[in-house]
């Protein structure tokens, strides 16, 4: 398959630029391999949960990863952190009128400095003084890293709403957006239904917004993302798989974590920390996930390729056309869909 196979026309006014007042009010399209599309709301999600299901969510926390400052020449610079490597080192995109040179110093708003110490492909390595913690500076002076298709500046509201209610571990520079639809009340209702709530951590990188620039998908290189699976999560998920119970992934980042772990461990997830750069396209055989709760994704994006692999290419693209006609809201602050795995994509029934 080629990149252009995943194109679709989206009216600009369907791109959600702000969240709804209540997280669970978003519409929910249910895509099933053997049934017609259903149109419901996120608040209906618990009714679709079976006793014994395992619902897995990504508890990464977004930090204010967009920073502003000035080059030594006085020209303005924007730093978008892609990953925190340590307290004093980050990997980042740097936007300026001219690309800064290795060894140059950026004077950041807030009164601290970042020195450009190297390159990593299209990214820069930035170091702070040993006495300066980059995460602390970002928390104090940074901006919420809203996606590039949201054409406005971040607000105080975004600090709360571009964050899941179960966020714990700081390190993401983009939200695991499916989780933005859930509030604590809905999570408790899922548990009351007899499901197991389970959390993993995958720090979403800015590479999630990197467009696919090649038409041959085999030539696209994914950015790696750090993840952690606890011993308890491994035990709960492996037991469910052995007993034929379903695994719900809250978002594509959860899927990338679990399928990425299984891909390098003979089809079984393993507890521990690692990196995944898994690129899921149609033809991939899923090892872990049975049901995916996710947002609507950009045309020609790696995430649309992933959901097409999971739900069936023709079925998912047709559902997206129906979502456009029904005027669903798209992307990070938009509506959601629940996709039951296509049997041809492998995994348990």
Answer for the pair 59, 232: CB distance below 8 angstroms, yes or no.
no
Please tell me the distance from the alpha carbon of residue 76 to that of residue 302, in angstroms, as a whole number: 32
Please tell me the distance from the alpha carbon of residue 213 to that of residue 68, in angstroms, as a whole number: 27
Query: How much is the pLDDT for 184?
Result: 98
Residues of the chain within CATH 3.40.1780.10 domain(s) are 3-62+158-345
Answer for the pair 181, 24: CB distance below 8 angstroms, yes or no.
yes
Which one, of 30, 134, 32, 28, lies nearest residue 87 by Cα?
134
Which one, of 300, 302, 298, 289, lies nearest residue 338 by Cα?
289
Q: Is the dihedral of CA 163, 167, 171, 177 positive or negative?
A: negative
Query: How much is the pLDDT for 123?
Result: 92
User: Dihedral of the CA atoms 115, 86, 176, 292 (nearest 10)?
Assistant: 130
Q: Is the dihedral of CA 340, 342, 347, 349 positive or negative?
A: positive
The DSSP line for 259-304 is HHHHHTTTT---SEEEEE-----TT---SS-SEEEEE---TT-HHH
For 13, other C-beta atoms within 10 Å of its C-beta total 9
Query: How much is the pLDDT for 349?
Result: 39
Please tell me the distance from the alpha carbon of residue 132 to that of residue 112, in angstroms, as a whole number: 8
Residue 226 pairs with which residues in a beta bridge?
275
Please tell me the distance from the alpha carbon of residue 73 to that of residue 104, in angstroms, as a whole number: 10
* Coil, helix or strand at residue 123: strand
Query: How much is the pLDDT for 209?
Result: 76
Listed in sequence order, the residues at least 6 apart from 201 whose beta carbon sits closer than 8 Å to its beta carbon are 58, 59, 60, 168, 169, 171, 227, 228, 257
Q: CATH classification of 66-143 is 3.30.1330, yes or no?
A: no
Query: How much is the pLDDT for 208?
Result: 75
Which one, of 202, 241, 216, 261, lies nearest residue 83 by Cα?
202
Answer for the pair 271, 233: CB distance below 8 angstroms, yes or no.
yes
Query: In tens digits, what is the pLDDT along the chain, a chain of 349 residues?
Result: 899 999 999 999 999 999 999 999 999 999 999 999 999 999 999 999 999 999 999 999 999 999 999 999 999 999 999 999 999 999 999 999 999 999 999 999 999 999 999 998 889 999 999 999 999 999 999 999 999 999 999 999 999 999 999 999 899 999 999 999 999 999 999 999 999 999 999 999 877 778 899 999 999 989 899 999 999 999 999 999 999 999 999 999 999 999 999 999 999 999 999 999 999 999 999 999 999 999 999 999 999 999 999 999 999 999 999 999 999 999 999 999 999 999 888 754 3
Q: Interhelix angle for 302-311 vs 252-263, to 10°?
A: 70
Residues of the chain within CATH 2.40.10 domain(s) are 66-143
Query: How much is the pLDDT for 347?
Result: 59
Which one, of 339, 324, 234, lies nearest residue 11 by Cα?
324
CATH topology of domain 3-62+158-345: QueA-like (3.40.1780)
Answer for the pair 282, 1: CB distance below 8 angstroms, yes or no.
yes
- The reported pTM is 0.94
């Amino acid at each position: 398959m080629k990149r252009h196979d995943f194109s679709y026309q989206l009216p600009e006014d369907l791109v959600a630029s702000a969240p709804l007042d209540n997280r669970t009010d978003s519409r929910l399209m249910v895509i099933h391999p053997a049934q017609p599309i259903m149109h419901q709301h996120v608040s209906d999600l618990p009714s679709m949960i079976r006793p014994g299901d395992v619902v897995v969510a990504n508890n990464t926390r977004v930090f204010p990863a967009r920073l502003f400052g000035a080059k030594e020449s006085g020209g303005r610079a924007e730093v978008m952190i892609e990953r925190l490597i340590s307290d004093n080192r980050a990997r980042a995109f740097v936007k300026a009128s001219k690309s800064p040179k290795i060894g140059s110093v950026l004077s950041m708003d807030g009164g601290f400095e970042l020195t450009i110490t190297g390159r990593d492909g299209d990214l820069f390595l930035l170091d702070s003084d040993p006495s300066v913690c980059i995460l602390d500076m970002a928390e104090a002076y940074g901006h919420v890293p809203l996606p590039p298709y949201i054409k406005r500046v971040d607000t105080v509201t975004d600090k709360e709403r571009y964050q899941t209610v179960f966020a714990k571990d700081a390190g993401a520079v983009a939200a695991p957006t499916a989780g933005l639809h859930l509030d604590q009340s809905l999570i408790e209702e899922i548990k009351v239904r007899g499901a197991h709530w389970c959390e993993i951590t995958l720090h979403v990188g800015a590479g999630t917004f990197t467009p696919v620039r090649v038409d041959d998908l085999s030539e696209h290189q994914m950015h790696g993302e750090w993840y952690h699976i606890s011993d308890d999560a491994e035990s709960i998920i492996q037991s469910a798989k052995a007993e034929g119970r379903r695994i719900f992934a809250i978002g594509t980042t959860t899927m990338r974590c679990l399928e990425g772990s299984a891909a390098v461990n003979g089809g079984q997830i393993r507890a521990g920390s690692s990196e995944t750069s898994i690129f899921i396209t149609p033809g991939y055989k899923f090892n872990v996930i049975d049901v995916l709760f996710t947002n609507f994704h950009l045309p020609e994006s790696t995430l649309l390729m992933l959901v097409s692999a999971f739900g069936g290419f023709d079925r998912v693209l047709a559902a997206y056309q129906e979502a456009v006609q029904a005027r669903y809201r798209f992307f990070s602050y938009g509506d959601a869909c629940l996709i039951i795995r296509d049997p041809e994509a492998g995994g348990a029934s």
